[in-house]
Amino acid sequence: MQKRWDIFCKVVDNFGDIGVCWRLARQLQTEHGLQIRLWIDDIEAARNIIPSLNIYENNQVCEEITILKWHTEADFSVAAEVVIEAFACEIPVAYLAAMAQKKSKWVNLEYLSAESWVGDFHTRLSPQANGLTRYFYFPGFTETTGGLIRERDVSSQLGGHANPRPQAGLAMTWLMSFVSLVRCLVVPPEGTRQRGRGAVELNLDAAPLSNLSPAYGREVFVVESSEHNLKISLFCYPNAPIKDFFNALQTNSHAVSVYVPESGILPQITDYFGAKTISVGDYFTRENLHVHILPFLSQADYDQLLRDCDLNFVRGEDSWIRAIWAAKPFIWQPYIQDENAHTKKLDAFLDVFYAKYDKKHLLCKAHKYWSAGLLPEDVFAEYLQHLPALKTYTQLQRSQLASQPDLAAKLVIFCNNI
């Protein structure tokens, strides 16, 4: 068994690529006992996902993973036995030479897709001029693909048990007991805005949200639990129809709380509410709509947010898969690609995931409108009517997918056999 693996990651959209690579690196280390080095080209952006990173260090260890800054002057002379090239990020020429000398196993981890051709191309090989063989590894939703990232502790989450969370450090320990005391707060008068501790409602029974940038202080953010309060998480690309979405929610029959982790959509929210600025801890209200601005969350805390909400808007790859494991209704926005390739990915996923849902065409409309930058009120209202049935269906789909081997386990077996 090859014990030393290197993973190369280029941060493309600040979150998705490094999010997937960091989850994979940690799972390979903790569950398979591998020595992992993670090469990252944008350490500053990666710090959103790995908050303990020191952006000035070229070589450091975080959670037993060696993090190396990928830059032109880096030392690429020592290759690992297995090298994962994440999403065709192009391994440096000097490192390729070291791989040829080491006779490393080379796997290109592709983007996730439900398209029918994925199973046919999974594990295909490409001999290289330097004597190495490059294998193409495709994650996917069927047994003929590389599977989905799923840690062992997801099993306890599937059963509704508390999620074991990483230690937040001694400075946060005192907050563990405090968080259980925070339950809810008074909603401000319509049209007002409020900031500061408690600006977000809560009911997290595990640990407090731990990945808070020092710039924001150590606030405690929580999600209110109420049968009459629809809870929605919103993580999307800037081209999403935020205005249409908020307009539709204002006149909902019950109060709606929208939780927005800090991202590139904050300017749209600022414009919508006519605010001059927007900051973590702010919340806005208009009729039955209440929007809460969260800090950028750690992966564990984001996963918890998905489980606590009734509906999740997700994007890209990492949050998309976590929404499935959360087993709550979700609307996915794929990363925009040339020639509308992303619409093919969306259609393929909807066909696979909702194949057995009797009102598939109704919910697919909401996904497709959202991805296209529109969200008619009647389409979204129709979607919301199906939330209870969608929750039951998503739970069944999650269980079915969780019965398949996970990506890391299949990847280790594959690399041991080539």
Task: Assign 356 to helix, strand or coil.
Answer: coil
In the sheet with 133-137, reading across from the earlier edge strand, the strands are 59-62, 65-69, 35-40, 4-9, 82-86, 105-109, 133-137, 125-127
DSSP conformation letters of 6-33? EEEE--SSSSHHHHHHHHHHHHHHHHH-
Q: Which of 17, 110, 244, 318 is catalytic?
A: 17
Q: How far apart are CA 155 and CA 109, in angstroms?
A: 24
Q: Which of 6, 41, 224, 317 is catalytic?
A: 317
Q: How far apart are CA 204 and CA 384, in angstroms?
A: 24
Q: Are 14 and 45 in contact (CB under 8 A)?
A: yes
Structure tokens at 364: 């697919």
| Catalytic status, residue 75 | no
Structure tokens at 131: 């004597």
Contacts of 355 (CB under 8 A, 6+ apart): none
**Beta pairing, strands 59-62 & 65-69:** antiparallel
How many of the other CB atoms lie within 10 Å of CB of 217?
12
> Which residue in 206, 192, 203, 200 sits closest to 221, CA to CA?
200
234 forms beta bridges with 313
| Catalytic status, residue 17 | yes
Structure tokens at 279: 């900051």
Residues annotated as catalytic (active site), given as ranges: 17, 317
